[in-house]
Structure 1
Amino acid sequence: MSTAPEKFVWTAENEKAAQAHIAKYPEGRQQSAVMPLLDMAQRQNGGHVTQEIMQYIADYLDMPAIRVQEVATFYTMYNHKPIGKHHVQVCGTTPCWLRGSDDIMSACKKKLGIEKGQTTEDGMFTLSEVECAGACVNAPVVAIDDDYFEDLTPETMAELLEKLAKGEDVKAGPQIDRQTSAPFGGPTTLKGDKGEDA
């Protein structure tokens, strides 16, 4: 699935973007751009980074290759093998787990016919379990590609996967009738007409 040339180099567009990222940091601190450069390289390479790409970024930023590898292997946002068209990442951290992430993972496995860490035969979906997605208040949360899907049930998860498999658009965000992170039932404070509690 990789679209990388035999030897990885930035596309002309990504070269400009890489320089723009580096320019955000003070002189001598270009290594601070390692995360956005890894992300950009991963996207250019069809969804994963390789040892060659990590070395390229290390050379590009004039930093030890081991430092790039430390970043790339610490964060689950960097993939080290090819992934499917849609990367389904189920948060398994405590708040999501308490709100049913095990059931969400089971629904994904059943619907896709794969286990964690696998990709469907058609290359459409890769299923992963990740640590905190940072949207605990709307647990359980699943990141699919660059979008978060929150307040999921096994049924809504299966529906999302079905729509994606058909190439249909899906609505990111809360999957229930909730405005942002408001509690169930809506806001509970500052409801009076003069700003006092009702």
Structure 2
Amino acid sequence: MSADNRVAGRPRSREADAAILDAALELLIERGAEATSIEQVARRAGVTRATVYRRFPDKTRLLIATVEAAYGNPPPSPEIHDVEQLLAGWAHVLADPRQRRLLRRLYGAIEDNPELARAYQDQFGRHRDRARRDVLERARDRGQLPADSDPDILLDVLTGAVWQHLAVRPDTGTAGEVEQFLRAVFHQLGYRPENH
């Protein structure tokens, strides 16, 4: 980058950005949200605390950015076309051992760090739940789910199944095995894929 293209002040370092998010993710998975601090993140990333604070004014925002980066920065309100895409997406995440550990830490944050859980739900969770409910409503309207299905209750059951999988199944399952589990849950809810 030439001097003419730089903005006033020190340029932001992409390497520092990546190091901060990587360090925060490692600490979040290792120790949980409550035991992760800005100081620890800075030390592990090899930057100053001021460098972290310039990017993230508080730990909650840092951890939210960390979680989003770990999931590839998906849109706040994803486009999920149908149940099959929903199944494949969940299976992909649940087949990744690191993402499984992260999800368990996030679940623990509901109790240990309610501010983080609340901020994440406000910023992303509500929109993503709406997208999932919309998929379930469309499936019901197409006759793939029983006509009296309540999408809110279905989403609660499916989310519970995901947490049950995280709690009792090993972190070594393949995406195919996870999808088979989720498909069995959907089957019990009355889901019938089209063309079957």
TM-score by length of 2: 0.33
Structure with greater strand percent? 1
TM-score by length of 1: 0.33
Q: Highest relative contact order (Cα 8 Å, sep 6+), 1 or 2?
A: 2
